[in-house]
Amino acid sequence: MPEPLRYNRKFDELTEKEKVLLEINKKSIADFVEQSSSVSDVNYATRNAHAKTYAVAKGRFQISDPVPEFLQPFFDKKEYDIRVRLSNAHPKITKKGKDIPAYGFAVKIMNDHGSTIANYPLVNFPLFPINSVSTFLKLFTYINRSFIKKLNLFAAAAQFLKVMPCLFTIPFLKNAVQLMMKKNHFMLSFSYHSVGTYRLGDHMAKIKLVPKSVEKHFGKSMKQRLSVEAYLTDHNFTADVYIQLCYDLKNQPVNRLNVEWKNSPFIKIGVVSIDQGSLLDPRDCSNELLSFNPFESKNVFQPVGRIQRLREEAYQVSVQTRRKINKLLHGYKFLFM
């Protein structure tokens, strides 16, 4: 294989117009979080995405033995403590009916003192449909506002018409069909993906987490939250962790998130493990306030790309607003459904 491409700040640069749109989007995020308890009818401020928590658990990230040589500078131990948050992507916590099969598997890797080494919010769909920063910002500003006040239906149609062409690409349709065929599967049986790119020092990589031996029909008659709790109470969970390295932008584009990388082999770098009985109380204030902001990671593990860069300030606004409201509830049990 050729030498991997080196990270360059140019991959992250935004235009002045995009920066203006980002400021508008940040205001919509703050407004949404401030009113999120009413939106979801709960007694705390929620995230503006992945609002519903299914479970929080403690676990381990074990580095492959032998560790690939290029990873040796980044991992000085064989095993790290982690925290995992399992969630649903919807910005509103729904209490009735079935959840959409859009799941999150967020991983926080920590050092011996409990400080964050890296955060990786992974999802069960490998692609992101929108490559245009402006389109993304306008759409998600509209979505945030739509939950807190009534908006013009014609304006809604206009926003979604701009996105429609992004949804009709062959890779996106292929993965959408595959997801719908698995829509009733147990969430811990899905593979999880970073979607965007992350630094590994000077290299750039995508991440994939693949569960081992999880029954896809486990808890079929139960709500997802209850099935996750039941599984992690009585079963050990393990998943292999793989990366793909970026060697050339034609086959592994950093800023085209609606295509899968090709001609870059998956390299196993470790295993995520959650022992049975390792669940933490998701209703506890300290657990719900956990942040999985990937920009809180060490510099060598930071996100890369223009869409990713938007998430930095969006995460900060969301977390700061949530904590401002929820810190008054420290020691309380949050109302979960």
Domains and CATH numbers, the chain: 9-329 (2.40.180.10)
The HSE-up count of residue 130 (CA atoms within 13 Å, CB side) is 19
With a cut of 60, say whether residue 73 has pLDDT above it.
yes
| 214-246 tens-digit pLDDT | 999 999 889 999 999 999 999 999 999 999 999
CB 305 within 8 A of CB 132: no
Q: Which two tokens stand for residue 192?
A: 């999880």
Angle, alpha carbons 329-332-337 (nearest 5°): 105
**pTM score > 0.95 for this model?**
no
Please tell me which of 204-208, 284-288, 317-321, 326-330 the model is most confident about, judged by mean pLDDT: 204-208
| Locus of tokens 């790290």 | 80
**Percentage of the chain lying above the pLDDT 70 cut:** 94
Tokens of 60: 């381990």
Phi, psi values for residue 245, rounded to 5°: -95, 150
Question: pLDDT confidence of 283, banded at 50, 70, 90?
Answer: confident
Instruction: Name the average pLDDT for the chain.
Output: 90
Mean pLDDT over residues 96-120, rounded? 93
Position 171: which residue type? P
CA-based R_g, the chain, Å: 19
Encoding tokens for residue 118?
């890296």
- The residue behind tokens 């060598």 is 300
Burial class (CB in 10 A: 0-12, 13-18, 19+), 258: middle
Q: Under DSSP, is residue 17 helix (H, G, I), strand (E, B) or coil?
A: helix
Give the pLDDT confidence score for residue 280 in this predicted structure.
92
3-state secondary structure of 72: coil
Nearest one of 83, 84, 168, 163 to 130, comparing CA atoms: 163
Quote the CA–CA distance of 53 and 104 in Å, as a whole number: 9
Residues 6+ apart with CB under 8 A from 26: 313, 314, 317
pLDDT score at 323: 86
Tell me the average pLDDT across 142-168.
75
